[in-house]
């Protein structure tokens, strides 16, 4: 199994509070991704990174920011959480980007009340 961990695994927070999710990899893969999974939508890309300090937006990036200061860590921040951001968040890594396969972390279930 690819060495990907996400923290926290579960979080409940209130509307308007900032939230940071962490993805950590031990595979030294260049690409890292954040997705959200919602019923009826499958997985949708939020942001991705193609190297340290190199990031770009995905399909549903509004309300989210990311940072990557080290190869192994990719942070997703909700600056001011809203109920619409209640979701399961998955981190993924890829050695060389699409179309190479992506390997996913265990997910973080976030509930915004």
Residues in contact with other proteins by the rule CB under 8 A: 31, 33, 40-45, 48, 50, 56, 58-59, 88, 90, 92, 97-107
Write down the least CB distance from residue 90 to other proteins, Å. 7
- CA gyration radius for the chain? 13
CA-to-CA dists, residue 24 to 11, 13, 40, 70, 90, angstroms = 17, 22, 28, 10, 12
- C-beta of 85 vs 94, nearer to other proteins: 94
Between strands 4-7 and 19-25, the pairing is antiparallel
Write down the least CB distance from residue 52 to other proteins, Å. 16
Which residue in the block uniquely carries the two structure tokens 């009340």? Answer: 113
Write down the least CB distance from residue 4 to other proteins, Å. 9
Task: Find out whether 106 and 91 touch, Cβ atoms under 8 Å.
Answer: no
Write down the least CB distance from residue 15 to other proteins, Å. 25
- C-beta of 5 vs 28, nearer to other proteins: 5
- C-beta of 43 vs 75, nearer to other proteins: 43
């Amino acid at each position: 199994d690819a060495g990907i961990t996400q923290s926290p695994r579960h979080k409940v927070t209130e509307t308007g509070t900032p939230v940071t999710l962490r993805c950590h990899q031990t595979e030294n893969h260049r690409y890292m991704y954040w997705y959200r999974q919602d019923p009826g939508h499958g997985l949708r890309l939020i942001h991705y990174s193609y190297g340290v300090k190199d990031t770009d937006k995905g399909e549903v990036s509004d309300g989210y920011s990311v940072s990557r200061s080290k190869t192994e860590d990719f942070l997703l921040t909700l600056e001011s959480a809203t109920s619409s951001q209640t979701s399961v968040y998955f981190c993924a890594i890829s050695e060389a980007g699409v179309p190479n396969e992506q390997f996913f972390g265990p997910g973080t279930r976030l509930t915004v009340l």
